[in-house]
């Protein structure tokens, strides 16, 4: 993979070089010391992946991510030395299309390969994602016995650009919205708690991490909070699971949508938002086959038109909508 590094700290650049050296197939094509230089270099030679710092002179990583994704879009991973202090900037960059975030590797102590492993795993997964190596064909779910009391659920999946899209969507829903909401966003578990708090504060709704064994519930927005997948079980509760282990997306939107199609007894809507790759498209189609309303974000309002495009290509979405029209549609469906 052709990789660029954007960082103004010589020690951080050296640490990233040493990490990438563990995988000979990776090639560093250029290094930039600030966001403005990165925008210029990316226009001259677009890499497969950019490892982007957040805090830099001249232009920070958030603005650089926004400009690159608008002009010469490519995969971007935010690499930060202090995620807790930079949590708002992390989600702002992801709102502009950054795929993921990881701590700056600390190679000074312990086994260097162990310290390099988290970043190398993310790079491997992004390589699979860029190649869209997902040709699975899934069967339709079996019929499910309907319960006497119909519950209501909104299942939402998002990836690159997702934090900002989720903020806009949730902010447009009333506090007394009469449906449970479960979110699956591609984000590392070390940032999930911060994202839940950020969404809760910015949207005005209660957003927290989903707990193993609890059911979706009206009045609370539950966010998948680990690097395992989240599923709806036959008994109506949520569970984290490592299976399937071969899923490159963790947590996988497909895994959750498929479980909703199989086991949800009630009314449901599946919503697939901005993101790179194909995750969620097959699961959304299974929800449509079950008879649930399915919505995909349109190209014009997406930061990255990958996952919704894949859903549209296989006719998984009953409706293609702009981001600002999704919440009004959900209110229309569930407040009649």
pLDDT digits (tens, 9 = 90+) for 29-63: 999 999 999 999 999 999 999 999 999 988 999 99
Provide the residue ranges of all domains of the chain, joining segments of one domain with +.
Answer: 2-130, 152-335
pLDDT at residue 139, rounded to an integer: 54
Q: Is 259 labeled as catalytic in the residue annotation?
A: no
Q: Is 212 labeled as catalytic in the residue annotation?
A: no
Q: Are 257 and 286 in contact (CB under 8 A)?
A: yes
Rounded to two decimals, the pTM is 0.82
More confident residue, 150 or 169: 169
Mean of pLDDT over the chain:
90
Q: Hunting for tokens 């086959």 — which residue is that?
A: 289
pLDDT at residue 34, rounded to an integer: 95
% of the chain residues with pLDDT over 90: 71
Q: Name the packing angle between helices 35-44 and 61-71 (round to 10°).
A: 20
What is the third-level CATH fold of 152-335?
Answer: Rossmann fold (3.40.50)
Which of 26, 186, 228, 229 is an active site residue? Answer: 186
pLDDT at residue 108, rounded to an integer: 67
Q: Span 185-208, mean pLDDT?
A: 91
What's the CA gap between 256 and 113, in Å, rounded?
Answer: 33
Check pLDDT > 90 for residue 158: yes
pLDDT at residue 185, rounded to an integer: 95
Q: What is the 3-state secondary structure (H, E, C) of the chain?
A: CEEEEECCCHHHHHHHHHHHHCCCCCEEEEEECCHHHHHHHHHHCCCCEEEECCCCCCCCHHHHHHHHHHHCCCEEEEEECCCCCCHHHHHHHHHCCCCEEEECCCCCCCCHHHHHHHHHHHHHHHHHHHHCCCCCCCCCCCCCCCCCCCEEEEEEEECCCHHHHHHHHHHCCCCCCCCEEEEEECCCHHHHHHHHHHHHHHHCCCEEECCCCCCCCECCEEECCCCCEEEECCCCCEEEECCCCCCCCCCCHHHHHHHHHHHCCEEEEEEECCECCCCCHHHHHHHHHHCCEEEEECHHHCCCECHHHHHHHCCCCCEEECHHHHHHHHHHHHCC
Q: Span 78-85, mean pLDDT?
A: 78
What's the CA gap between 23 and 300, in Å, rounded?
Answer: 37
Q: Is 186 labeled as catalytic in the residue annotation?
A: yes
Check pLDDT > 80 for residue 130: no
pLDDT at residue 36, rounded to an integer: 96
Answer whether 2-130 and 152-335 agree in fold: yes
Which of 53, 60, 100, 279 is an active site residue? Answer: 279
pLDDT at residue 170, rounded to an integer: 97
Q: Span 195-201, mean pLDDT?
A: 93
Q: Can you give the length of the chain in residues?
A: 336
pLDDT tens for residues 269-286?
A: 999 999 988 999 999 999
What's the CA gap between 273 and 323, in Å, rounded?
Answer: 8
Q: Name the packing angle between helices 162-171 and 189-203 (round to 10°).
A: 30
pLDDT at residue 80, rounded to an integer: 86
- Closest alpha carbon to 281 in 307, 255, 248, 252: 307
pLDDT tens for residues 87-117?
A: 788 888 988 999 888 888 877 667 888 888 8
pLDDT tens for residues 230-258?
A: 999 999 999 999 988 888 788 999 999 99
pLDDT at residue 30, rounded to an integer: 97
Check pLDDT > 50 for residue 145: no
Check pLDDT > 60 for residue 144: no
What's the CA gap between 268 and 179, in Å, rounded?
Answer: 9
Which of 33, 158, 159, 252 is an active site residue? Answer: 159
pLDDT at residue 131, rounded to an integer: 67
The CATH code belonging to domain 2-130 is: 3.40.50.2300
Distances (CA, A) of 49 to 99, 250, 293: 10, 19, 35
What's the CA gap between 240 and 309, in Å, rounded?
Answer: 28
Check pLDDT > 70 for residue 83: no
pLDDT tens for residues 168-192?
A: 999 999 999 999 999 999 988 888 9
Check pLDDT > 80 for residue 142: no
Q: Span 109-136, mean pLDDT?
A: 75
């Amino acid at each position: 993979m052709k990789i660029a590094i954007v960082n103004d700290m010589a020690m951080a650049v050296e640490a990233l070089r040493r990490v990438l050296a563990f995988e000979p197939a990776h090639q560093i094509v250029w290094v930039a010391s600030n966001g403005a230089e990165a925008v210029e270099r990316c226009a001259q030679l677009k890499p497969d992946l950019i490892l982007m710092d957040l805090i830099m002179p001249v232009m920070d990583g958030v603005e650089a991510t926004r400009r690159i994704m608008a002009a010469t879009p490519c995969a971007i991973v935010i690499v930060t030395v202090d995620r807790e202090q930079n949590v708002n900037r992390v989600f702002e960059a992801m709102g502009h299309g950054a795929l993921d975030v990881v701590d700056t590797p600390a190679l000074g102590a312990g086994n260097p390969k162990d310290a390099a492993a988290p970043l190398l795993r993310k790079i491997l997964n992004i390589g699979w994602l860029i190649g869209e190596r997902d040709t699975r064909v899934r069967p339709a779910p079996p019929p499910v016995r309907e319960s006497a009391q119909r519950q209501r659920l909104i299942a939402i999946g998002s990836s690159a650009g997702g934090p900002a899209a989720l903020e806009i969507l949730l902010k447009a829903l009333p506090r007394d919205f009469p449906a449970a909401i479960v979110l699956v966003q591609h984000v590392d578990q070390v940032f999930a708690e911060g994202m839940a708090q950020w969404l809760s504060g910015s949207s005005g709704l209660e957003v927290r991490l989903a707990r193993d064994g609890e059911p979706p519930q009206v009045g609370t927005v539950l966010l998948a909070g680990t690097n395992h997948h989240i599923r709806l079980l036959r008994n109506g509760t949520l569970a984290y699971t490592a299976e399937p282990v071969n899923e490159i997306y963790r947590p996988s939107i497909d895994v959750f949508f498929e479980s909703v199609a199989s086991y949800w007894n009630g009314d449901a809507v599946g919503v697939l938002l901005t993101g790179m790759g194909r995750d969620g498209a097959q699961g959304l189609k299974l929800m449509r086959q079950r008879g649930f309303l399915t919505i995909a974000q349109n190209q014009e309002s997406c930061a990255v038109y990958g996952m919704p495009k894949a859903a549209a290509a296989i006719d998984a979405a009953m409706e293609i909508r702009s981001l600002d029209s999704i919440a009004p549609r959900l209110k229309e469906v569930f407040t009649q």
